[in-house]
């Protein structure tokens, strides 16, 4: 593994997207501020906005660092570097996810802070973390598809499918007996169901990364 070139590729992506990520964080902060206003209308607008910001940042980061790079014929330059397909996959999958995590952690931290420091019910914390982790899973899948397939239509169809699934997942989690009734409670309840969901989501992210890197490690050429 050429760790030096991997680090340089990750650094290149960071410099390309750091200002975009800062913009997404500011939009996330604005969305959280709207959620904190004691009004059902502003809460709904803020909630939809923060989901949109996270999904938008996810799609932008995942597609631009993989599919767009191939579409703009940068792949020929990448193939000329002293790296293997596995090195490239590491830089895009783990590196891209790490860059997105800067934005994700900032927004999620602000959200959790707002839940505990404003009149918002603390019971929202578990489902907020669960839903935000689902978006992180979607980001990992998009990056994996970009690394493995590199196709614009496939990536877009995957993104649409993931967005549809997110809405279904949100309603499914909210309707769970151990989750839904606790959302409006004054105290956050991280019961066994919430912890299993959180642990399962983290495990799924690691599984996707492992499978993707395993597939790429068997390739001897980029094409």
Residue 190 neighbours by CB distance under 10 Å: 12
Q: When comparing pLDDT for 203 and 156, which is higher?
A: 203
**Ramachandran class of 68: left when φ > 0, alpha when ψ lies in -120 to 50, beta otherwise:** alpha
* Contact present, 133 and 196 (Cβ < 8 Å): no
Q: How is 177-194 classified by DSSP, letter by letter?
A: TTTGGGTTSSS----HHH
Residues 197-208 pLDDT 10s: 999 999 999 999
Q: When comparing pLDDT for 88 and 33, which is higher?
A: 33
Residues 168-190 pLDDT 10s: 999 999 999 999 899 889 898 99
* Contact present, 112 and 128 (Cβ < 8 Å): yes
Residues 79-130 pLDDT 10s: 666 777 778 888 888 888 988 999 999 999 999 999 999 888 999 999 999 9
């Amino acid at each position: 593994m050429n760790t030096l070139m991997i680090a340089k590729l990750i650094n290149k992506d960071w410099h390309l997207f750091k200002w975009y990520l800062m913009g997404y964080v500011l939009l996330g902060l604005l969305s959280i501020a709207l959620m904190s206003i004691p009004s059902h209308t502003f809460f709904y607008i803020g909630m939809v906005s923060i989901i949109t910001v996270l999904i938008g940042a996810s799609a932008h980061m995942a597609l631009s660092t993989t599919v767009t790079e191939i579409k703009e014929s940068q792949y020929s330059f990448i193939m000329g570097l002293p790296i293997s397909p596995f090195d490239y996959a590491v830089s895009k999958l783990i590196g891209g996810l790490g860059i997105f995590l800067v934005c994700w952690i900032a927004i999620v931290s602000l959200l959790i802070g707002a839940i505990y420091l404003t009149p918002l019910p603390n019971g929202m914390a578990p489902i907020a973390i669960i839903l935000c982790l689902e978006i992180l899973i979607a980001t990992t899948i998009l990056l994996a598809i970009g690394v493995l397939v590199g196709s614009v239509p496939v990536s877009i169809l995957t993104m649409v499918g993931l967005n549809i699934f997110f809405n279904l997942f949100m309603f499914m989690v909210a309707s769970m007996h151990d989750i839904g009734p606790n959302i409006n409670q004054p105290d956050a309840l991280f019961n066994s169901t919430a912890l299993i969901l959180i642990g399962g989501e983290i495990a799924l992210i690691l599984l996707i990364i492992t499978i993707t890197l395993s597939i790429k490690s068997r390739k001897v050429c980029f094409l």
